[in-house]
């Protein structure tokens, strides 16, 4: 199948790689021949819910690379980012950005920043929210809080949330 875009970008914290993250990344590789992944720095995550429980950058990077290897993905570059826009407003060759319904507004901010720099706006590819067993969506915040595992399943009060090692 011919890929729709030459170069796409996707970004996030990717803490405790869960089904929502995996759906987002799979979509990026499905539509793009080359995928740039913006991975948030440790400095950038300090204000997130349960920030003290977010895995360090090096662990999140390792988990991403492992996911790509296990799934046979190639043609990508992971870049540490220190802002929501990251490098997406400077890389001329990008064609599209892959986001979830929840992060769609971030794509609009990226496009505004690109236009301010005289670059063409990116096509926006949106995926739906992946639902969890206890609420509207799977999120790293719920995993860090010990409420669900990376598959969206409720965690019983007597056990710890799964550490997200499955790929």
* 67 domain-assigned: yes
Distance CA 29, CA 131 (A): 21
* 84 domain-assigned: yes
Distance CA 129, CA 158 (A): 28
Distance CA 164, CA 97 (A): 25
* 56 domain-assigned: yes
For residue 36, the domain's CATH number is: 3.40.50.620
pLDDT band at 1 (very low <50, low <70, confident <90, very high): low
* 59 domain-assigned: yes
* 111 domain-assigned: yes
For the stretch 86-99, pLDDT in tens is 999 999 999 999 99
- pLDDT of 123 > 60? The answer is yes
pLDDT, position 160: 44
Q: Number of structural domains, the chain?
A: 1
Alpha helices in the chain, H assignment, sequence order? 19-31, 57-70, 104-116, 140-144
Q: What is the rounded average pLDDT of the residues 4-17?
A: 95
Give the range of the structural domain holding residue 11, as residue numbers without chain letter.
5-129
For the stretch 96-118, pLDDT in tens is 999 998 889 999 999 999 999 99
| Location of structure tokens 């799934």 | 71
For the stretch 23-74, pLDDT in tens is 999 999 999 999 999 999 999 998 877 788 899 999 999 999 999 999 999 9
What is the pTM for the complete model shown? 0.83
């Amino acid at each position: 199948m011919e890929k729709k875009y030459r170069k796409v970008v996707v970004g996030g914290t990717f803490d405790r790689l869960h089904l929502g993250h995996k759906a987002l990344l799979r979509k990026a590789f499905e539509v793009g021949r080359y995928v740039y992944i913006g991975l948030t720095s440790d400095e950038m995550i300090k204000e997130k819910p349960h920030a003290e429980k977010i895995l360090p950058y090096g662990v999140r990077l390792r988990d991403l690379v492992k996911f790509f290897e296990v799934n046979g993905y190639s043609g990508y570059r992971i870049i540490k980012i220190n802002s929501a826009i990251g490098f997406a407003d400077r890389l001329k060759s990008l064609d599209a950005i892959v986001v979830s319904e929840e992060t769609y507004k971030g794509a609009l901010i990226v496009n505004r920043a690109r236009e301010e720099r005289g670059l063409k706006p990116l096509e926006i590819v949106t995926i739906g929210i992946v639902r969890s067993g206890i609420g509207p969506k799977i999120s790293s915040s719920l995993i860090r809080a010990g409420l669900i595992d990376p598959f969206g399943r409720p965690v019983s009060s007597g056990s710890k949330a799964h550490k997200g090692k499955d790929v």
